[in-house]
Structure 1
Amino acid sequence: MSGRSVHSVLAGLACLAIIASTTSCSSVGSSNNMIMCLESERQALLQFKQGLVDESNALASWESEKECCKWRGIACNNQTGHVTSLNISSSSDAHFYSKVPLRGEISPSLLELQHLNYLDLSFNDFEGIVIPKFIGSLSQLKKLGLKACNFSGHVPPQLGNLSSLLTLDLSYNEDVSLEDLEWLTHLSSLRCLDMSELDFSKFVNWPQSLSKLTSLTELRLSLCNLPDVNLGSLSLINSSTSLQLLELSDNFLHSSILFWIANVSTNFVSIDLSRNNLEGGIGIPIGFQSLCSLEWFRLLGNRYSGNIEDSIKALSCANNTLETLDLSYNQFLGTLPNLKHFTKLRELDLSGNRLQGSLSESVGQLSSLEMLHLLGNSMTGVITESHFQNLSRLQDLSLSDNRFSMNLSSDWNPPFQLARLDMSYCNVGPAIPNWILKQTNITDLYLHNTGISGSLPDKFWDLLPGLQQLDLSKNRIHGKLPNLSTTSLSSFCATSFGALRLLDISENKLSGEIPDNCSMQFQNLNSLNLGKNNLTGKIPSWRITFFRELFQINGKLAIDLSSNNLSGRIPYWIGQQYLVILNLRHNQFHGTIPLSLCNLGSIHVLDLSHNNISGDLPHCFNSISISAAGDFNKYGHMMMVVVELPVRNTRIIDMSSNYLVGEIPDSIANMDAMASFNLSRNYLTGKLPEDFGNVKTLESLDLSRNNLSGNIPAIYASLNFLGVLDLSHNNLSGRIPAGAQLQSFDASVYTGNFGLCGPPLTTICSKDGTTQGDGTMTGNATKEHGSDDLRDLGLIISAVLGFTSGFWIVCGSLMLKSTWRYAYFKFLDDSRDWIYVKLAVYKAKMQRRLER
């Protein structure tokens, strides 16, 4: 079971234990019975429905069925017939489900439902209206759910009149603000409170206010900009003996919050402090030793540097209760201590720290363990069968980015069946171990840079139909990709291979042609990397069907077939896909650039360099619009949370080292969001396009080693972000435009243009702007096509470094760096509800805009 699942179960149990069958943080209305509802309440519900826009017809039963107690989302009292529950939440896991969120107004007719004790409108879209004040008059309410409803304005203080309220959820209404917290302190019966993503930044005394809610058992305040706790005020805070679940993730809290937690309650079952600013060298405070009921503890993504053994000892009181321990992505030091006393531990994540030493064999005694993540440390030693002795429940194992060696016998039968395995950077080879071939339930397999060599055994291909992610990159695997005509096994081309999302077999020694006699059905694939092998032949025709299906279903794709020996023309159909990366670098493609590439509206990296492509440059590249790139930024921001690097809507275009001729079309210079453009080492003629001077996003421009002529346009001096420039070895002439930008480059970027003059060159310009004398420049106009000197290597390195903040650092690092990849997918898993909320609200807003 995942951490999120455990958390949800704990949340439900905590409230159920306290408020029994009445209501809970995650409960739903009671079941309908054969009882007649009151006509006045029936009419009130119909009037409420009239104010809603029900595009998916989720409330159809409200029209077809006369008896309102049988309506969807409605529950009534068994004896009186009064409506007691109205649950029209559009959440995918709620009692009531609508494919399209309801919209519209909330009618005050609900005031007729004076016996209503359960009202849940979560995950609908009320289009920015203010939370109605009249809700504070529904005096019998015990649960009020308004999560992610797209409300705005202030929280009405009238909600403080709901003295019977046990559960209040106002979370993820990003446009809702709080004037004060006084109204909240009147909810004396409140058990469960979720106000995540509401701004608490001005409430420095929030701990004092919340401490007045002495019945509170669950508190969720993620993404709330919480101010730090003032340690001097701890004595003024009433210690609550009931608080059991605490979520304060994604704030800016410092270590003082831990002292408040240690003092506020001893009954904690679940604590989440992920992604704050917690730091220090003392480890987890000693006060945590009194938390003997703790089952779920997360400190992910902080900056603790204390000894890992001391911190785990601070939790020793919970060694018979702790089920999830996540201290990942901190700076904890030391060696892994004996863990055998944590008998109920199901998830252990110590990834991304600075742990050293060997893996304690006590891990093999954790018979309840389902997930073990140690990736991204500096651990060493030999992994033996003793480390897995009693791990029959293990499903998720990651030991990558350490220096482990495997010493497992070839006939070892593991006691577990894994769903995910990451052994990247460990010494696994030279052959794929038999115990991995026995993992028939595996969906994610990462064996990047594990020393595997030779050909893959036939049994390996039997794992493929169930795989979602496969990374065998940077090994020494040779042989050919499997072909259905030579084997009856499931293979690279299997039609049942539809679950695969990532396939990376790059940087190996695979040879031969990509099979062309099967129809691939990878309907979920969004990243394919076969680069840096020895593949030959053409891109097979079956990819037409394959990518068209992907285009219709998935959208964004990345294709990397670089550094092979593929030949033929670039297929026309490849430009009909929704690609963000197309890398065909270092192959043998010939012919002209297909006009269909102008359709790549989402492209961020287009690399056709080092091929034999000829002909003119297409004039249609300006049709590639930034509108699609905007979508990337939405998802790119989500990735940025993990890798902590900026993601921008930029494009990198490289068509260097080919045989392109003719002039550079002005349309290319008009492409949106161009950051890097390289046409060097071709046979281009004509003048430099003036429109390049208007591309304010341009950071790298390399047009060197062509036959370009004329002056450097004066507007180029205004390219303030330009960090890499190379115009060398052309036939340019005239004065280099004055301005700090073009004069800041070394003279070598202009060398080989005998007609150029002015700083930074030493050649002096005459009054008419031409060269005076032969100057001091040397060189010749001989075409040096295909030669790479040290200066060009430096230029390439500079360009690459200049754009690591773009798409490659996000997508490429996730594929190649397993620690970041795991952090990313872990972040997605932990943020599932938050992402659902954001996408639902965004979708609803876009639908409204389209209607208008």
Structure 2
Amino acid sequence: MNSHHQIIKTSPASLFLFCLLILPLSATCNVEKTVVARCIDQERDALLKFKHHIQSDECGLMDLWGNPGTPDCCTWKGVSCSNPSGHVIGLNLSAAPYQKTCLSISVFSPSLSELKFLKYLDLSSNYFYDMEIPSSIGSLVNLIHLNLSDSGFSGDIPHQLGNLSRLTSLDLSRNDELSAQSLNWLSQLTLLRDINLSGTDLSEATDWTQSIGSLSMLEVLQMDHCQLSTPLTSSSILYANLRIVSLSINYYINSSIFQWLFNNSNYSTVKQSLEYLDLSYNSFQGPIPNEIGNLKFLAYLNLSRNSFSRTVPDAMGNMEFLKYLDLSYNSLSSTIPDEIGNLQSLMYMDLSYNSLSGSIPSTLRFSGALETMHSLSYLDLSHNRLEGFAPGDVEDSHSTSHINSSNQLEGPIPSSVGGSSPLLHLDISYNLLQGSIPSAIGDLHSIVHIDLSYNHLQGPIPSSLGGASSISYLDFSNNYLEGAIPISIANLKYLGYLDLSNNYLRGDIPCKLEITKTPYFAKFTYNNLSGSIPIKLSYLGYNAFEGNPNFHMDKFQGRCDDDKHDGNIYLGLYVSIGLGFYTGFWVFCGTLTLKNSWRHAYFRFLDRIIDKIYVVVAVYLARFRRKSQV
């Protein structure tokens, strides 16, 4: 012990020399001083008291807590200590990484309040049996981060949390029975940067706007599904650091929030900082304000499931960093503005379930999207009143999902659709498309979903379809397709959904066709198919084949043609063996019959062989008898 104190008091030069000498023996030597953090006994006992009230630990988070082999609590899983003081400063028992509930706790031990130096506390994704959040947490005045999300807490949020004046991050989300009658305590958390109260019942917290407005450092505001009853107004302060605002599924929030966003004294700064805005599932009405186009640094915008009307603002074309845009399930009308094509960073766009009309802008067609919107991978324009169709080249398209169903699109499917190799999902059903299915569709090697149903498509199903071997969902129903079902369709080994009903298809169903992916679905009804049910589709039932007058639903197909060819191969093999035996036999026997000298020599040879065998057998039998008599 004395030598240890001498080392600490030595001069830096001597200590440096000492480290050089013992470096091979110790990799932990420090030029200034060597200190090993060890747990404080009082805090160790507090942690063990907390463990004592844990009913179950499904993830083994506390297996080593209190183990004789690990007396130092600073080495326990989830515990972090200060170096060199040894005080516990972090406790992370979150079950989120395990994707299941780890800890079940029926009594929240007040012993955690003894961890006076605790800065980080994460108990998320565990189960606390619908207990209230303990008010004793408010005594942990050094806390910087508090996460109690998805943990089964209920009741009112304790106002004592307002004592955590150093808190910068607070997450109480996804506790479905949690509520608050007032958020006045929030105004004391002046350093708060990130708050998430999503799922908390705030229907009675009419002071939420004033409380949020007092958080001058706030960067992230998440209050989804909170039953907010009082709207934000321009009188509520909007702070310049705000990056994320998520207020979805509140129903009572209306268009007055735009006054808060756009008529605020800090608006000029906020439009440079706001990156994420989610106002979906609310009660917005009227037009989307043009000012939203001034949020040039916005990357995520979700205004879906509201009652917005009129047009999509041209000013949205100014949002050059926008990557995600969802305006679906509104009442937007008129045309899609050409300016939308200026969104070169856009990766996801959903304008479905509106009343948009007119032609699709050239920038959103197969040919146009690849010219300007290189990043667009998901496009949904379904359930509108859009007209026309976009022939063109798609050889360089990066789109993975193109959904344009339930419109009034006309004309043929572009013959070069197969050039869009990354395409995974193509749905242009419920339109007025004409012409044939292009053979290039077989070049879509990555596609998994194709729906061309309810159009006016004609001609045969291209035999090249078998080249799109990744397809799991295929719907060509309710068209005017004719001809035979191509044998190559049996190459679709991942097929789980197939609907070819209500066409004019004829001939047999390919016997090797198989629906392999669950849930199984196949439908061939109301065509002109003949033949019988393939053995591999016998489990589908008669309903899958009805409406084909020449089809025998009471019979099953025999072996496939390829199997018959295999039988012919075996037949040929047997014939060859028979002919070979017949020829060899008569070549040998015929020679012996016609040439006397060969016949006599052959039989003399056989006689000598038989005599030798007889002598050998007689000798062995004689020896055996003698041994038996002895």
Deviations 1:732-751 (A, max 9, x none): xxxxxxxxxxxxxxxxxxxx
2:163–2:188: 8 Å Cα contact kept in structure 1? yes
2:406–2:430: 8 Å Cα contact kept in structure 1? yes
2:343–2:373: 8 Å Cα contact kept in structure 1? yes
Q: Distance in 2 between matches of 1:452 and 1:104?
A: 62
Question: Matches of residues 484-503 of structure 1 in structure 2 within 5 Å?
Answer: 490-491=491-492, 494=493, 496-497=494-495, 500=496, 502-503=497-498
Residue 274 (str. 1) matches residue 280 (str. 2): yes
1:535–1:564: 8 Å Cα contact kept in structure 2? no
* Aligned counterpart, 1:149: 151
TM-superposed deviation, 1:147:
1.7
Measured at CA, do residues 414 and 518 of structure 1 come closer, stay the same or move farther in structure 2, by a change above 3 Å? Answer: closer
1:58–1:98: 8 Å Cα contact kept in structure 2? no
Measured at CA, do residues 259 and 411 of structure 1 come closer, stay the same or move farther in structure 2, by a change above 3 Å? Answer: closer
Q: Distance in 1 between matches of 2:205 and 2:480?
A: 59
Measured at CA, do residues 507 and 204 of structure 1 come closer, stay the same or move farther in structure 2, by a change above 3 Å? Answer: farther
Residue 322 (str. 1) matches residue 333 (str. 2): no
Q: Distance in 2 between matches of 1:53 and 1:526?
A: 44
Aligned residues between the structures = 500
TM-superposed deviation, 1:383:
0.3
Q: 2:113 aligns with which of 111, 115, 118?
A: 111
* Aligned counterpart, 1:97: 98
Residue 86 (str. 1) matches residue 65 (str. 2): no
TM-superposed deviation, 1:178:
0.8
Residue 124 (str. 1) matches residue 107 (str. 2): no
Deviations 1:336-359 (A, max 9, x none): 222343232222222222222222
Measured at CA, do residues 164 and 564 of structure 1 come closer, stay the same or move farther in structure 2, by a change above 3 Å? Answer: farther
Deviations 1:754-783 (A, max 9, x none): xxxxxxxxxxxxxxxxxxxxxxxxxxxxxx
Question: Matches of residues 298-309 of structure 1 in structure 2 within 5 Å?
Answer: 298-308=302-312
Measured at CA, do residues 116 and 518 of structure 1 come closer, stay the same or move farther in structure 2, by a change above 3 Å? Answer: farther
Q: Distance in 2 between matches of 1:44 and 1:512?
A: 79
Question: Matches of residues 216-255 of structure 1 in structure 2 within 5 Å?
Answer: 216-229=218-231, 234-235=234-235, 237-252=236-251, 253-255=253-255
Q: Distance in 2 between matches of 1:184 and 1:560?
A: 63
* Aligned counterpart, 1:447: 452
* Aligned counterpart, 1:725: none
TM-superposed deviation, 1:531:
4.9
TM-superposed deviation, 1:174:
1.7
* 2:480 aligned partner, one-letter code: R
* Aligned counterpart, 2:262: 262
Deviations 1:512-564 (A, max 9, x none): 77777787542x427655555567888877679x89xxxxxxxxxx9973744
Q: 1:414 aligns with which of 416, 419, 441?
A: 419
2:150–2:175: 8 Å Cα contact kept in structure 1? yes
1:319–1:342: 8 Å Cα contact kept in structure 2? yes
Deviations 1:166-203 (A, max 9, x none): 12111221211212111122111111111112222223
Q: Distance in 1 between matches of 2:90 and 2:484?
A: 63
Residue 525 (str. 1) matches residue 519 (str. 2): yes
* Aligned counterpart, 2:443: 438
TM-superposed deviation, 1:109:
2.7
* 2:331 aligned partner, one-letter code: Q
- SS of match in other structure, 1:210: helix
- SS of match in other structure, 1:383: coil
Measured at CA, do residues 173 and 244 of structure 1 come closer, stay the same or move farther in structure 2, by a change above 3 Å? Answer: same
2:482–2:504: 8 Å Cα contact kept in structure 1? yes
- SS of match in other structure, 2:474: strand
* Aligned counterpart, 1:712: none
Q: Distance in 1 between matches of 2:79 and 2:482?
A: 63
Question: Matches of residues 643-682 of structure 1 in structure 2 within 5 Å?
Answer: none
Q: Distance in 2 between matches of 1:222 and 1:425?
A: 35
Question: Matches of residues 543-558 of structure 1 in structure 2 within 5 Å?
Answer: none
1:352–1:377: 8 Å Cα contact kept in structure 2? yes
TM-superposed deviation, 1:300:
0.7
Q: Distance in 1 between matches of 2:260 and 2:168?
A: 24
* 1:54 aligned partner, one-letter code: S
* Aligned counterpart, 2:587: none
Q: 2:544 aligns with which of 539, 542, 561?
A: 561
Measured at CA, do residues 435 and 246 of structure 1 come closer, stay the same or move farther in structure 2, by a change above 3 Å? Answer: farther
Deviations 1:680-699 (A, max 9, x none): xxxxxxxxxxxxxxxxxxxx
1:239–1:263: 8 Å Cα contact kept in structure 2? no
* Aligned counterpart, 1:213: 215
Deviations 1:135-187 (A, max 9, x none): 11222222222222121111111111111111211122121121211112211
Q: 2:462 aligns with which of 440, 457, 464?
A: 457
Q: Distance in 2 between matches of 1:99 and 1:258?
A: 39
Q: Distance in 2 between matches of 1:538 and 1:118?
A: 69
Deviations 1:54-87 (A, max 9, x none): 3634426536772554544444445444443333
Measured at CA, do residues 140 and 448 of structure 1 come closer, stay the same or move farther in structure 2, by a change above 3 Å? Answer: farther
Name the TM-score, length of structure 1 as normaliser. 0.53
* Aligned counterpart, 2:7: none
Residue 367 (str. 1) matches residue 352 (str. 2): no
1:196–1:224: 8 Å Cα contact kept in structure 2? yes
Give the alignment's Cα RMSD to 1 decimal.
3.6
TM-superposed deviation, 1:245:
0.9
Q: Distance in 1 between matches of 2:110 and 2:491?
A: 61
Q: Distance in 2 between matches of 1:36 and 1:559?
A: 75
Name the TM-score, length of structure 2 as normaliser. 0.70
Residue 183 (str. 1) matches residue 180 (str. 2): no
* 2:330 aligned partner, one-letter code: N
1:455–1:478: 8 Å Cα contact kept in structure 2? yes
Residue 471 (str. 1) matches residue 475 (str. 2): yes
- SS of match in other structure, 2:170: strand
Q: 1:165 aligns with which of 158, 164, 167?
A: 167
Q: 1:425 aligns with which of 430, 433, 440?
A: 430
Measured at CA, do residues 536 and 268 of structure 1 come closer, stay the same or move farther in structure 2, by a change above 3 Å? Answer: same
1:529–1:559: 8 Å Cα contact kept in structure 2? no
Residue 379 (str. 1) matches residue 362 (str. 2): no
2:187–2:214: 8 Å Cα contact kept in structure 1? yes
Q: Based on CA coordinates, which of the two structures has the bigger radius of gyration?
A: 2
- SS of match in other structure, 2:349: strand
| Overall identity of the aligned pairs, in % | 33
Deviations 1:239-267 (A, max 9, x none): 32122211111122222222222235423
TM-superposed deviation, 1:437:
2.6
Q: Distance in 1 between matches of 2:51 and 2:199?
A: 29
- SS of match in other structure, 1:54: strand
Q: Distance in 1 between matches of 2:41 and 2:481?
A: 74
User: Which structure 1 segments of 5+ residues have no match?
Assistant: 1-33, 548-557, 570-852
Question: Matches of residues 389-400 of structure 1 in structure 2 within 5 Å?
Answer: 392-400=397-405
- SS of match in other structure, 2:150: coil
Q: Distance in 2 between matches of 1:161 and 1:458?
A: 72
1:259–1:285: 8 Å Cα contact kept in structure 2? no
TM-superposed deviation, 1:369:
1.8
Q: Distance in 2 between matches of 1:209 and 1:184?
A: 6
Q: Which has the higher contact order (CA 8 A, sep 6+)?
A: 1
Q: Distance in 2 between matches of 1:405 and 1:172?
A: 47
1:536–1:567: 8 Å Cα contact kept in structure 2? no
* 2:160 aligned partner, one-letter code: Q
Deviations 1:205-256 (A, max 9, x none): 422221111111111111122224275xx33x22321222111111222222
Q: Distance in 2 between matches of 1:511 and 1:86?
A: 69
Deviations 1:63-114 (A, max 9, x none): 67725545444444454444433333333xxxx3153443223322322433
- SS of match in other structure, 2:64: helix
* 2:436 aligned partner, one-letter code: A
TM-superposed deviation, 1:469:
3.4
